[in-house]
Amino acid sequence: MDYYKPVLAMIGLQFIYAAVALYTRVAFLKGMSTRVFVVYRQGIATLVFAPMAFASRRKNPARCSLGLKGFAWILLASLLGVTANQNAYFEGLYLSSSTIASAMTNLIPAVTFVITAILGMEKVNIRSLTSLAKIFGTLICVGGALTMTLLKGPKLLNSQLLLPTKSLLNLTPGADTWLLGCLLLLASCFFWSLWMVLQVPISANCPDHLYSSTWMCFMATLESATVALLTEKDPQAWILSSYLELSCCLFTGVALAVSFFVQAWCIPKRGPLFCAMFNPLCTVIVAIYAAIFQHEETYTGSLVGASAVIIGLYVVLWGKAKDIEEIKQETDPKLDQKKIVQVIIDESSEKTCKIDLEEPLLSDKSTKDDH
């Protein structure tokens, strides 16, 4: 069961992501400011995390401290992977659609591969089939994202009930907001991938995921409030005028806290790419519910592009899975022992060698006799 716990956690997380995408878009179309929403969401997540982190540290005070280096990593992760990511994602969600937003998140494994390859965390060998799979899978993902962004095509389902009425750049509703929304979602994928990669040094400096997540949410709250104060000119935007807006902030704040903790727990166990492989499930959930309940428009170009992104995603993950198998084979002592035995057999071709591969080459008894 311990082996499948990360899998079950990530599946549950995709249902939470789908609910957030559907719920928040309704609140945005009803007039809620995306920048103010991000501030409230981060603040609520901090309030959820803080008591648990305090209780955890008080129960076990000997756990590691954050340290200056760990604090610097968390500050960088909160600025890029949380503040920039959340503002870009929700503004893009508002200007495009829930389905497009969930489909764009499938780019994260491809972007993560590119970043980790540049940083030397992923090996790239153009003569290796696994490396070629990851490279071509990345290209397919990017091509699918560009298709969703630039090519709508014939409409398949529904006519959208509501369109964005106000945006950060005051664009007119229609094609302009759609294109800007897709570009913002692409930027969000890049920031999200950076956040996942940054979890590796953060976990090394502060293995207490609850403690590090609390600090990350707190700093992201301050950073998001600064962004909102600079960009939101209407003071009335800070007032939650309906139960829809209040419940949306509460639900997504708790969901963010759960998301941070689950991903911070899973990444050290399975790696950054593992946490991104479940994103297509969220896309399917959102596409079905958005078409039925929100009457979102479904275009041919969006469908083809989303399919290409998902195909590219699994090509990348196939290459990653093969890499893991190769690493296991290289580090398995039993496999190394078999290679040694095979060399002995090859060099002693004139003799009959019969060796039990399950036993060590030198027994404890033989070593004692030698001494």
pLDDT(297) > 70: no
Percent of the chain exceeding pLDDT 70 equals 75
pLDDT(352) > 70: no
Residues 23-59: tens digit of each pLDDT: 898 888 888 899 999 999 999 989 988 888 888 777 7
Q: Report the range of poorest mean pLDDT among 85-94, 132-141, 226-235.
A: 132-141
Task: Indicate if 234 and 345 belong to the same structural domain.
Answer: no
pLDDT(156) > 70: no
Which residue, among 179, 169, 156, has the nearest Cα to 100 in the 3D structure? 179
Task: Indicate if 248 and 353 belong to the same structural domain.
Answer: no
Residue 320, classified by CB atoms within 10 Å of its CB into exposed (0-12), middle (13-18) or buried (19+), is: buried
Per DSSP, 44 falls in state H
For helices 129-150 and 108-118, the axis angle rounded to 10 degrees is 130
Rounded Cα gap, residues 181 and 348, in angstroms: 68
Mean pLDDT for 105-128 is 80
Residue 261 · residue 294 · CB < 8 Å: no
pLDDT band at 362 (very low <50, low <70, confident <90, very high): very low
Is the dihedral angle over the CA atoms 289, 294, 297, 301 positive or is it negative? negative
When the pLDDT of each residue in the chain is averaged and rounded to a whole number, the result is 76
The whole-number pLDDT of residue 361 equals: 33
- Residue 38 phi/psi, 5° resolution? -60, -40
The whole-number pLDDT of residue 358 equals: 38
Residue 205 · residue 63 · CB < 8 Å: no
The whole-number pLDDT of residue 341 equals: 38
pLDDT band at 180 (very low <50, low <70, confident <90, very high): confident
Domain extent, residue 352, equals 338-370
* pTM given for the model: 0.74
Residue 252 · residue 27 · CB < 8 Å: no
Task: Indicate if 256 and 224 belong to the same structural domain.
Answer: yes
Question: Which has more pLDDT, 229 or 365?
Answer: 229
Residues 243-277: tens digit of each pLDDT: 989 999 999 888 877 887 787 788 777 776 677 66
Tokens coding 272: 């950054």
pLDDT(340) > 50: no
Task: Indicate if 239 and 352 belong to the same structural domain.
Answer: no
Is the dihedral angle over the CA atoms 32, 34, 40, 46 positive or is it negative? positive
pLDDT band at 200 (very low <50, low <70, confident <90, very high): confident
The whole-number pLDDT of residue 219 equals: 94
Percent of the chain exceeding pLDDT 90 equals 15
3-state secondary structure of 124: coil
Task: Indicate if 261 and 359 belong to the same structural domain.
Answer: no
- Count how many residues are written for the chain: 371
Tokens coding 350: 């004139």
Task: Indicate if 202 and 348 belong to the same structural domain.
Answer: no
Task: Indicate if 272 and 365 belong to the same structural domain.
Answer: no
The whole-number pLDDT of residue 337 equals: 47
Mean pLDDT for 70-75 is 90
Task: Indicate if 17 and 45 belong to the same structural domain.
Answer: yes
Rounded Cα gap, residues 108 and 113, in angstroms: 8
Task: Indicate if 285 and 350 belong to the same structural domain.
Answer: no
Q: How many domains does the chain have?
A: 2
Buried b / exposed e over 275-302, threshold 16 CB at 10 Å, is: bbbbbbbbbbbbbebbbeebebbbbeeb
Task: Indicate if 197 and 226 belong to the same structural domain.
Answer: yes
Task: Indicate if 96 and 148 belong to the same structural domain.
Answer: yes
Which residue, among 112, 150, 180, 198, has the nearest Cα to 308 in the 3D structure? 150
Q: Within a 10 A sphere around the Cβ of 311, how many other Cβ atoms?
A: 16
The whole-number pLDDT of residue 370 equals: 47
Among 185-199, 305-319, 329-343, the range with the most confident prediction by mean pLDDT is 185-199
The whole-number pLDDT of residue 188 equals: 93
- Residue 298 phi/psi, 5° resolution? -120, 120
Say which residue the tokens 């890029």 belong to: 80
Task: Indicate if 101 and 142 belong to the same structural domain.
Answer: yes
